Amino acid sequence: MESVYFKYMVKNKKVLIIGAGIAGLSSAIRMAVKGYDVHLFEASDRVGGKLHQFYLDDYRFDAGPSLFTMPQYVTDLFRLANKNPEDYFEYEKLEVVCNYFWEDGTKLSTFADHRKNVEEIAEKLSEKIDDVEKHFKDSALKYELTGKTFLEYTLHSLKTWMTKDVFKALTQIHKLDVFGTMHGVNARRFQNPKTVQLFDRYATYNGSNPYKAPGMLNIIPHFEYGFGAFIPKNGMSDISQSIYQLGLDLGVKYHFNTKVDQIIKCRDTVQGIKTLSGESIEGDIVISNMDAYFTYLHLLDQRKEADKVLRQERSSSALIFYWGINKSFAELDLHNIFFANDYQHEFDCISKGSISDDPTLYINITSKYVDKDAPEGKENWFTMINVPYNQGQDWDQLIEQSRQNILGKLSQILKTEIAPLIECEEILDPRSIESKTMSYTGSLYGTSSNTKWAAFARHPNQSPQYGNLYFVGGSVHPGGGVPLCLLSSKIVDDLIHEK
């Protein structure tokens, strides 16, 4: 009864969404299911934001996010619309989650099978099985105590904090490691520095530094191992494409090559948008999937509010080489990590705005699972290192030096000269990340999580000034990455519905 009444009330109400990133796309679905007249405006000619695809010669590449966890947040969108997710989107669970390599010849694979995974880490890195098991249990406990509160609800409402879940978490706050660093927690638990490095790296999942970030971030391995890691049948961009198709089926109106130039304000509400071409479009609700900084600076013309966003430390960025490789490597899988010898030095360099000569490398190869992504006997390499956000560095020099360091490291560990195997190349750096995705300074996750208060400092999902203006995406709560961006749209949906 409530659903019918709600749809009657919103039938003639218009929602305007700015940006076709994954959060904007999922917001469109949630609003359309509720019965709103939904219009989504995208400055480019494609959907997905960072989560899109492109081709180089005979190779296909996913441009942005490469790890797919917590698929329930995608399939939930289809079930909300009473659609069968499999009619739009198929994926498979990975048995081998990731391969790890160190320059001294140590190799490690992590697995979806919990027992096999624990035994592999303990054996290869000479750790006690009980210590490895305890680490995964602690990660699961952190999620059990805080996951729903911190990820699925606004942190800017008293209602969120007046729940049994919050009370339970507070009674066990000593188990959440909020007052120590991620590295400190891991270093106390494990004997082998390689094991510490293995679990420290999860700080990079939200652009943070394990030597600064709170131990609470040890919740992240649970996303990968508790829920599993997956790959969409047609690559990561299939996530955004399938949600876009669902939107079409639900009647969402998409406006491509339409850049929003202004959000029209009136006292404590917003009344619509104005496009770069000068067209004014009225709306009852506006949802911005644009970086919060750019929303305030360019669309609302509020420099003071924009500067408040910058008070928080920006997350790290990425330097990515998309390579078509004329060879197949049996020792590599979908996800592969080549660790730096001195991990702390790598993060010290990033903190100072530079890049280590020995960075940790991540290589994603979707052609291991999606045959059409590369010609037979060849592979599509998404080769990435973590780098600082753009502060005016000489990126051309940094890119060339990093390219040589990467090729040298890979050639040594894989015992094959990599440079002659590169058939085609495209490069993405913090400058182009900013220009292509409107992520301020090229920081991938908006703000970092390098303090215990970072989660509370993220911009809220509802404007404190304008009651019908909302924010979704990686620059606001709960953060960056596919699952969290999807959850930002759920939070906004809940906030609107409560009204």
- Measure Cα distances from 61 to 58, 319, 382 in Å: 10, 15, 7
The answer to whether 62 and 236 are in contact (CB under 8 A) is yes
**Residue type for 400, please?**
E
The answer to whether 387 and 316 are in contact (CB under 8 A) is yes
The answer to whether 91 and 68 are in contact (CB under 8 A) is yes
pLDDT of 4: 58
Chain centroid to CA 244: 18
Domains of the chain plus CATH, in order, are 2-51+236-311+450-498 (3.50.50.60), 118-225 (no CATH)
Distance CA 285, CA 255 (A): 17
Name the strands in the sheet holding 229-232, side by side, starting at the edge strand that comes first in the sequence: 68-69, 229-232, 91-93
Give the pair of three-digit tokens for residue 261. Answer: 């130039």
pLDDT tens sequence for the chain (499 residues): 455 555 556 667 999 999 999 999 999 999 999 999 999 999 999 999 999 999 999 999 999 899 999 999 999 999 999 999 999 999 999 999 999 999 999 999 999 999 999 999 999 999 999 999 999 999 999 999 887 777 887 777 767 767 777 777 667 777 778 889 999 999 999 999 999 999 999 999 988 999 999 999 999 999 999 999 999 999 999 999 999 999 999 999 999 999 999 999 998 999 999 999 999 999 999 999 999 999 999 999 999 888 887 777 788 999 999 999 999 999 999 999 999 999 999 999 999 999 999 999 999 999 999 999 999 999 999 999 999 999 999 999 999 999 999 999 999 999 999 999 999 999 999 999 999 888 889 988 877 777 766 666 688 999 999 999 999 998 898 988 899 999 999 999 999 998 7
pLDDT of 1: 45
Task: Name the pairing type of β-strands 68-69 and 229-232.
Answer: antiparallel
Give the pair of three-digit tokens for residue 252. Answer: 């969402």
pLDDT of 164: 75
Q: Which neighbouring-strand residues pair with 336?
A: 99, 363
The alpha carbons of the chain give a radius of gyration, in whole angstroms, of 22
Distance CA 19, CA 255 (A): 10
For residue 464, cis peptide bond before it (omega within 30 degrees of 0): no
Overall pTM > 0.75: yes
Q: Which helix (H) or strand (E) holds 101?
A: strand 96-101
Nearest of 297, 314, 285, 246 to residue 18 by alpha carbon: 285
- Measure Cα distances from 205 to 30, 81, 347, 482 in Å: 26, 30, 14, 11
